[in-house]
Amino acid sequence: MSQAIKELSDQQLVFSVLEIERNVIAARFKHSTNQLENTAQLRDMRRRVARLHTEARRREIAQGLPKDALMHQHRRGFGGGEVSEDGDSPEKGGFLSGIVDKLTASE
């Protein structure tokens, strides 16, 4: 798995981090409402996020960039709109709207 992470481009790496972080939030919500069947998924997703953040930081150090520079540089392309510091997308209705859509679609 670590080799697959190293082969990702910077943009793909940031996209993966943001996508998995959204999935973690959705899984936490499902877990709190007793709808999550496999609770080990939470641990696995958190570990994947940590691995991706580690790789992003390694690349930043290698390129001489400040901390979180890759995230800020490539984050704008995620979700189709501008992303603010709190993760809300003004054009798409906010960060939680995608999670609500996923939850209502699965019912």
Using pLDDT thresholds of 50, 70 and 90, give the confidence band for residue 83: very low
Amino acid at the residue 4: A
Token duo for residue 72: 């800020």
Burial 16-39 (b: 16+ CB within 10 A, else e): bbbebbbbbbbbebbeeeeebeee
If you average pLDDT over residues 81-98, what whole number do you get?
A: 52
The per-residue pLDDT of the chain, averaged, comes to 80
| Model pTM above 0.85 | no
Domain boundaries, the chain: 2-106
Token duo for residue 23: 């999935």
CA neighbor of 58 nearest in space, from 1, 4, 12, 13: 13
